Each structure stands twice: as structure tokens, then as C-alpha cells.
Chain A
Amino acid sequence: MIGITDASLSFGALRLFAGLSVDVPRGRTTAILGPNGRGKTTLLRAILGFQAMDKGRRHAPSIVGYVPQHGASQVRLSGLEVVTMGRAARLGLFGQPGPEDAEAASAALVQVGACHLADLRYDRMSGGQRQMILIARALATGSDALVLDEPTSALDLGNQSRTLSLIAALGRTRDRAILFTTHDPNHALAVADDVVMMMPGGAVVQGAVAQMITPDLMAELYGVPMNWVRPDGSKRRIAMLPEFTGKDAL
């Protein structure tokens, strides 16, 4: 439903990806995984059409529900007003949002469970609250393609959990194509079906989460060993940082 075909992008000698094809079909959730600074957000922007590529085609519906990492940060409007902006594509150049747009925005707020934020001023909200508003705005567009840039990276543990559970629920309730970036393999494991891994050195590998997120590949991806544990009663393993004794450092 949304993706790129045979795409390449380099900045000088730095190769971000070459000959890469990514497609997120309806009903699947894909995570773009990689270390900081590897170009996850740039790949996302290329898929959205905000970043010109050296080569390649992109395919996407005309309207995509996009959740930026830091959206609307200076906007002194109410939560509901920010969500209503998601209806902009339906309004036209001189259009004003009407009652049906406010209704759609309220419905989106209900969907993300953030009705209590409708009248709060956006610029006074916490990071977690803003995240919910921006996700609701993406839903208010009515698009079945959802793209989220680092939806969890600035959030505390509680808000990470809330956001991930919302992403999982959104993927399940309708045949949506969901694409998000993250640097935490556990978050990809928690909600994604497929993963696109941006390896150090310019290679990009992809596949189903269960096959791709293995201790070996993760050690290669991040350049450090990790402990993999299977919580009691769980079917999957999660990555944990090793115990630091302080003896190996320096």
C-alpha cells in the first residue's frame, strides 16, 4: 500500500540505501529498525515523498496519516483543533472545518482514548499527551496508511507502553498499513509483523520480525552484545542490556 521500489539515496560518500524496495501492504505493520543516525527518519521521509531520492519510485495513497516526531510544537491551539487539522485535505484551499470535521476529530480522539485532552492547549501538553493528539490527527485524515516517526523514543515507559498498545490495536481493528521507525528492537518485537533493518555500512535487510530479530543480527546491528531472555509464559524473547560490572569500561 505504501513504499518505495528500487530506491537509492546517498549523501556524498555516505550510502543510506541502494536498490531498496519496501512495501507495507494492508493489514501489516512494519518497523524500520536501526541505530541512531543511520537514516531511519530519512528513509521514512523518502517513502513519504518529503526527501528526494537519487533513484527509485514511491507508491502511496494521496493522503497518508503521518505522525511526526515533534509535531506542531509551537502551536497554541486546543487538542481538538490540532486533531481537526487532519481533515485539511478534504477542505480545499478556502474551506473551513465544519461540524462533520469536528465530529470526525472527536471520533479519532475517542479511538486513541484521549477525549480528556480535547480542550487542553496543545503547547502545554506533555510529550505523551502530544503523541496521542498527533496519532489522533493522523487517524482523522481517514487514510488507512499510517506512518509514525520515532513514536516512542521521547516517551517514558508508561507512555511507550500506551503508544505501542495503541499501534497494535490500530493495526488489528482495520486493514491498515502501518510503518514506524524505532531504535528499540523490543518495540519492533512488540507490535511489528515485518522489520526493515538499516545495518551499519549501508546495507538494508528485511523480513518477518521472528526471523530477523535474532541475537546475532542485533549484535551486528548495534555493535554490542545483548542478553536475550524469555519472560515466564511468553512466546518470544526480549533484548536486555547486560549487567554492567564497571570492569570492562575504559
Chain B
Amino acid sequence: MSAALDEAPRRAWLSLRLGVFPAMVGGLALAMLYAISAGRFDVPWTRIIEILWARAWDLSGNPEAMDERIVELVRLPRVLLAAMSGAALAVGGAALQGVFRNPLVSPQILGISQGGAFGGALAILLGYHGVVLLGMSFVFGLAALLLVGLLSHINGRTEILTVILAGMIVGAFFAALVSVLQFIADPNTSLPAIVYWLMGSFSTATWARLGLAVPGMMLGLVLVWALRYRLNLLSLDEAEARSLGVNPDRERWFIFIAATLMTGTSVAVAGVIGWIGLVVPHAARLVVGDDHRRLIPASALLGAAYLVVIDTFARTLTAAEIPLGVLTALIGAPVFAVLLRQHFRRAGAG
């Protein structure tokens, strides 16, 4: 009975879904175009296409005109870095949510971001930048995740509530360690560097920085993409997954390492930008459903577009740049609150 009634809207829904990915790609392209054109020096979007078109045919020459320099040397690397970071953070969140079978976890909730922040801050304090900073962000992000895994594994079981609590403990611990570093940092040199870096910003984006970030993020994205069907299986009950020939204990770690690689890299190049990994996958799930074969690309596209837009707001809303973490938290916290209520209401009803 209900099957027949469902049929018509279901078809409409399906056709809508088929058009969803072209729409997302288009949305991302528009967001990037808008981001490149907006700012104190306004570049019309027709001119942007002209500049990029010319550059595509001649990669050797140097930009000369003012608008060429702004587009090619300032805004394009910044927009690309924001898009890459947004995609990486969102995909990392979506993958972790699949593995933990819970839409409420994210790199930030699990303490990975704070661990990465400590690693990065330590690197700055010791006078390192570039690859070392990136490596330390990754290593301490992974250390935080390991600690959460150890803390929440009780009697051979990992309860989701314990994971979230352990994540908060580990996150708070690393946040305190970051404060310790700030306390002992040289107030004239390393302290401001640490503080500005932690606030989260793409204002220092250059082609070199983009080149530093791309390998780690791409590696993480490709790994999660390759494991997209495995994620469907990993989101089953543990015994069930094992009976289907999956080894959850081992395969989970591919996802953990990929998520940490993406989060750590993004923290290294742009500081801590919270909430993306929580809010974006949830929005993507509303549009394309739970199947990770659709959810992962949808999270990547939405995350990229979201962070490009947020970053553009951050640098155009006021005369001074607003820290990105502030904007994403202002949107993310209320969304998380709604999610939490929905989740426990559904769990209570089921």
C-alpha cells in the first residue's frame, strides 16, 4: 500500500538527486568566481575569466596589470586553498562519522584539531615552518586520536558517548598545552605568530603554501574516496561488518589516518577552522542520503563551496579580517545544538 503511494514523490526525488552533483559543481564554480571578484579591489567576473583564459594558454609569462596580479597572485591561491581545506575538513568529518556510526563526531570533537594545533604551535615556537610544521600537526593530531581511541575502548567495546567525552578530554588537554606554549613563547616574536596562526585564516595563502598543502589533502581525499563503499560497511554494527568479511579494527585506521592527514594539513596551513567537518556532512546527508558513494563527493563539493564563501565574508564584511574560526563557530554551534537534540530524540523514539 505505502509502496504504491510512495512511488510518485520517490521518482521526483530521484531525478532531483541525479541533478544534484552538476548543481553542486556549478555552485562551487560560482562561489569561487564570486570570491575572486569580491574585495576592496573589485574585479568584474568577465575580467576574471579573461585573465584565467589568457593564463591557461600561456603559463610562462608574469602577471603585469594590477588586476592580473590580484587575481593570480593573491586571490586565486587563497580561494583554491580555502576550497581544498573545506573539502578536506568536510570529507574527514563525513568519514569519521561513518566509522563511528554517529553524525555528531568531527575532527574537532575528537580532539584531532587541538592535537594538530599543539603540534603546529610547538613547531612555530621551535622556529620551524613549512614541512616540519605540517608534519608535527599531523603527528600530534594522530596522537590525539590514538589517545581518544585508548580512553574510550572499555571492556572491548567503544561506546559513542565515551568517544565524545574522551574527545573532549583530549581536546581540552591539548588546548591547555597550547596555552602553556603561548605562555612560554617570546611575546615579541613567536607569540603573535602562534596566536594569528591559531585564529585560522587564509590571508597568508600563496602558491607555495598551496603546493605544501595539496599533497597531504589530496592523499587523504583519494584514500577516503577509494574506501567509499567500505565506509558503508564500516558503518554497520561491528559483528555484522565482520560477518561480511570486513575487518573493522584494521580498516578503520585507514580512515583515521586519512582524516588526520587532511585535518592536520589544513590546521598547518590555515590554523584551526572548526565545525566544517560537522555541519557540512550533515547538510550533504540531507541532500544525497547516507550512501558514502554519494556522501563523500557531496561533502567535498559542499565543504569547498562553504569555506570559500565563509572566507570571502571573513575578508569583506569588515575593514579588518574576521578570524575564520569565529565565523564557522557562529554558524556551527547552533547547528550542532539542533543535531544533538534531533539525534537523541530519534534514539529515544527508536
Contact = CB atoms under 8 A, between A and B. Distances in A.
Interface stretch (A1-9, A69-77, A235-243): A69-77
A97 B236 contact: no
Nearest to B233: A88
B182 to A, nearest CB: 42
B291 interface: yes
A116 interface: yes
Contacts of B242: 49-50
Contacts of A76: 289-290
A50 B239 contact: yes
Given A76-B289, A76-B290, A96-B293, A85 B236 contact: yes
Contact of A63 (B6, B230, B245): B245
Given A81-B291, A94-B226, A45 B232 contact: no
Nearest to B235: A75
Given A66-B243, A71-B237, A88-B245, A77 B229 contact: no
Chain A interface bracket (under 10, 10 to 19, 20 to 34, 35 or more):
20 to 34
A120 interface: yes
Given A81-B291, A93-B227, A94-B227, A86 B244 contact: yes
Given A66-B240, A77-B291, A93-B251, A88 B246 contact: yes
Interface residues of B, number: 28
Contacts of A48: 239, 243
B291 to A, nearest CB: 6
B240 A91 contact: no
A91 B232 CA distance: 13
Contact of B232 (A74, A85, A90, A141): A85
Contacts, number: 71
A100 to B, nearest CB: 15
A75 B236 contact: yes
A86 B246 CA distance: 11
Contacts of A12: none
Given A75-B235, A116-B3, A141-B244, A96 B229 contact: yes
Interface string B211-248: 00000000000000011111011011101101111100
A64 interface: yes
Given A77-B290, A96-B229, A96-B293, A71 B251 contact: no
Contacts of B291: 77, 81
B234 to A, nearest CB: 10
A91 B229 CA distance: 10
Nearest to B223: A94
A127 interface: no
A105 B233 CA distance: 16
A-B pairs, 7 with minimum CB distance: A89-B245, A66-B243, A76-B290, A88-B244, A50-B239, A94-B226, A96-B229
Interface of A: 45, 48-50, 62-64, 66, 68, 70-77, 81, 85-86, 88-91, 93-97, 116, 119-120, 141
Interface of B: 3, 6, 10, 101, 226-230, 232-233, 235-237, 239-240, 242-246, 251, 254, 289-291, 293, 350
